[in-house]
Amino acid sequence: MKQVNIAPCHAEIAAQIRHDIGQKLRALSPEKEFRAAIVTDRNVEKLYLADVQNSLAGAGIANVVFVVEPGENSKSFPTLEKLIDFLADQHFTRSDAVVALGGGIVGDLAGFAASTFLRGVRFFQMPTTLLAMVDSSIGGKTAVNLKAGKNLCGSFYQPEKIFADLETLATLPADTFADGAAEALKYGMICDEKLFALLGSGALQGDAEKIIARCIEIKATIVQGDTFDRGTRRLLNFGHTIGHAIEIASDFTVSHGHAVAIGMMEITRIAARHALCAAGTAEKLECALQSLHLPTENFYSVETMLETMLNDKKRHGDTLEFVIPKQVGKCELYPVAVHDLKRFLTK
Ligand SMILES: NC(=O)c1ccc[n+]([C@@H]2O[C@H](COP(=O)([O-])OP(=O)(O)OC[C@H]3O[C@@H](n4cnc5c(N)ncnc54)[C@H](O)[C@@H]3O)[C@@H](O)[C@H]2O)c1
Ligand SMILES: [Zn+2]
């Protein structure tokens, strides 16, 4: 078992931790009587809900369950409203706890509900995808999607604790596992050359506990220094400006992690062409991505990318912010003026 305690992030990573969740919540709860509302999706429900419920029951914690359909459509206001109504119908109080059991979709939705219902009830994350373990459950961003774009409405609300059960990774489809590996590799590129090398050498299969704990530590450290996303936290967007454009251009048929992989590769090639990074950086990234079964080629034209980026709702005024690598293990923010964007992307 590994622990990360970098306030506001507190995480435990271990195989089979789902079987101990009852005792763990009990140990963290001053109230003798409290209930848990487990929020999960249909896939995770079939695999892991019973284990979590048994563990809660064993610790004398009553639970209710709210199940959503898998997919981004569930990260919506209609589903959020149903979930909040459900908590109200169950007469949930501030001493009761929302427990997100699933991937980033369930975590983002449940976190938003927990942050707003009664102006905030207790909240725990039990991430079951690699992406949720290394990324979305950490840092306190919650969200639903709007018609205007993904993640445009949400809050900052930290879970009291994150419990990552490594055993749940075994049932992930290979592509979904690879999505999480892309975000893990991102941390290596941003600030940890050793992590990058470990991931590229296939260590994620044998040493998941150590690697996931290191990823959480990195994200937690960055978030601690910039909880509200005003500065260094934006380094976490490495690969995301272009990745986001690919997701949109593909109408979200390219998954987030795969789009980020291509985005990291593209921006690194661009940085190399502009002589902004050390020689060999792009080649090292390409090898690592390939070994993690992630894509490295962008099939969209510069025109398509430009159009999508310029319409990005998160754009700041007349510049677009990229994160560029200086070398493996070191990145920096790099604003590009909109009028210079085409030259920047195509040179
Ligand atoms: N809050 C943040 O900081 C943050 C950061 C990154 C991404 N996100 C969000 O996270 C979401 C993506 O998260 P995700 O990649 O975990 O997707 P997801 O929640 O859709 O899960 C992926 C798929 O895997 C299934 N699944 C989950 N756990 C499983 C398991 N153990 N075994 C088998 N199947 C399992 C799910 O049912 C789903 O079909 C996006 O909405 C994204 O915007 C949020
Ligand atoms: Zn991401």
- The domain segmentation of the chain, as residue ranges, is 2-171, 174-346
| pLDDT at res. 310 | 86
Share the mean pLDDT of the chain: 95
Distance 183 CA to ligand 2 centre (A): 6
Q: Going by CATH, does the domain composed of 174-346 fall within 1.20.1090.10?
A: yes
Q: Is 218 in the pocket of ligand 1 (CB under 6 A)?
A: no
Assign 230 to helix, strand or coil: coil
> Fold for domain 2-171?
Rossmann fold (3.40.50)
Same fold, 2-171 and 174-346: no
Distance 342 CA to ligand 1 centre (A): 33
Residue the block writes with tokens 């593209």: 266
| pLDDT at res. 314 | 62
Q: Is 70 in the pocket of ligand 1 (CB under 6 A)?
A: yes
Q: Which ligand sits closest to the CA of 142? A: 1
Residues 86 and 122: their CA atoms lie apart, in Å, by 16
Nearest to 130 by CA among 186, 46, 201: 186
Nearest CA to ligand 1 atom 9: 104
CB-based contact 155:130 (threshold 8 Å): no
Nearest CA to ligand 1 atom 10: 104
Tens of pLDDT along the chain (347 residues) come to 999 999 999 999 999 999 999 999 999 998 889 999 999 999 999 999 999 999 999 999 999 999 999 999 999 999 999 999 999 999 999 999 999 999 999 999 999 999 999 999 999 999 999 999 999 999 999 999 998 888 999 999 999 999 999 999 999 999 999 999 999 999 999 999 999 999 999 989 889 999 999 999 999 999 998 777 777 889 999 999 999 999 999 999 999 999 999 999 999 999 999 999 999 999 999 999 999 999 999 999 999 999 988 887 667 789 999 999 999 999 999 999 999 999 999 98
Residues 129 and 44: their CA atoms lie apart, in Å, by 10
Q: What is the Cα 11 distance to its own chain's centre?
A: 14
pTM of the predicted model as reported, rounded to 2 decimal places: 0.96
Q: Which ligand sits closest to the CA of 41? A: 1
Assign 59 to helix, strand or coil: coil
Nearest CA to ligand 1 atom 21: 103
